[in-house]
Amino acid sequence: MRIAVMDMVSIRQELKAYGLIPRKGWGQHFLIDRNILNKVIQIAQINEKDVVLEVGPGLGEMTIGLAKKAKRVITVEIDSKLVEILKKKVMDYPNVEVIKGDILKVDFNKLLNQEKAPVKVVANLPYQISTPLLFRFIELKKLFFSLTLMLQKEVAERMAAPPGGKEYGPLSIFVQLVSNLSIRFFVKPTAFFPPPKVESAVIHMIWKEKSMVEVKDEEWFKKIVKGCFSYRRKTLINALKHSDLPLPHDIEPKVKKIGIDLQRRPETLSIQELANLAEVLKP
């Protein structure tokens, strides 16, 4: 979600002056509530030693707010017109680097390889990329100290969901396995121009010192989780058989030994049970 903070009149004027029309395909919704911007920066706990990665800086109000507090701010923006505007706006802030690019295609290892400490992410995510981007942040978690994100309320609820409900799935599992997640507050559609059709949420994530459960083979664990939840409405035994994973022939006695009923649905399994399942079914 592209965010720029100002009153409704000035945002319309600025967009008109630049000849910009918010692009639905890129999830461009501009925040018009300055209090929310201040709360997001406060939650991120930015200080003069921090390097910040900002996703979707939009018209740059968040960028400038971050630049006043951080050692360095790296922004990634896909819209070339907004990149030009942003570069002009931050000319008085030499600690801001503006990069034109698709955040899903950015090589984070290359971008952040000179940083001596993990960076803090402050991201106002377009709804359509929030889930794949979260998986990338988790995969490369060593590069990041914390994530302070504004995203779709539904996605935030999926991240925090316990076993047993329809919201619980791979995103819930991988987020909760490695991070301490808190949903800080919700944001009404009226806080944006143009208003989205759904509510948003601001969440804060910081990595656990040790994963919630021991996972001996992370790649295999991911495959088991994704294989099971690709058929979440089936029983566990049928989901596994449809997953095309290289599973042992004696699934039933192996799973019975760890106390899991194969007639349960995948969405009822706890993270610990999924870890046990992955271990016992490992080729």
CATH topology of domain 8-207: Rossmann fold (3.40.50)
Helix (H), strand (E) at residue 65:
helix 61-67
Q: Which residues of 221-247 are buried (b: 16+ CB within 10 A; e: fewer)?
A: bbbbbebbbebbeeebeebbeebeeeb
Q: What is the pLDDT of residue 124?
A: 83
Structure tokens at 40: 């997001």
**Cα 274 to chain centroid, rounded:** 22
Q: Each residue's pLDDT tens digit in the chain (283 positions)? A: 444 444 444 766 676 666 666 566 555 666 777 789 899 999 999 999 999 999 988 888 889 999 999 999 999 999 898 899 899 999 999 999 999 999 999 999 999 988 989 999 998 888 889 999 999 999 999 999 999 999 999 999 999 999 999 999 999 999 999 999 999 999 999 887 777 889 999 999 999 999 989 999 999 999 999 999 999 889 999 999 999 999 999 999 999 999 999 999 999 999 999 999 999 999 8
How far apart CA 115 and CA 112 sit, in angstroms, is: 6
How far apart CA 141 and CA 118 sit, in angstroms, is: 9
CA distances from 79 to 103, 108, 124, 175 (A): 11, 19, 14, 29
Q: What are phi and psi of 198, to 5 degrees?
A: -130, 165
Structure tokens at 271: 């993270």
Residue that is written with structure tokens 């935030």 in the block: 156
Helix (H), strand (E) at residue 134:
helix 130-139
83, amino acid identity: V
Running DSSP on this structure, what letter comes out for residue 116?
Answer: S
Number of helices followed by number of strands (H, E) in the chain: 12, 9
Cβ atoms of 32 and 6 closer than 8 Å: yes
Cβ atoms of 108 and 136 closer than 8 Å: yes
- Torsion of the alpha carbons at 275, 216, 182 and 73, rounded to the nearest 10: -150
Task: Provide DSSP, 191-220.
Answer: GEESPPSS-EEEEEEEE-SS-SS--S-HHH
* Residue spans per domain, the chain: 8-207, 218-280
218-280 — its CATH code? 1.10.8.100
Peptide bond into 22 cis (omega under 30): no
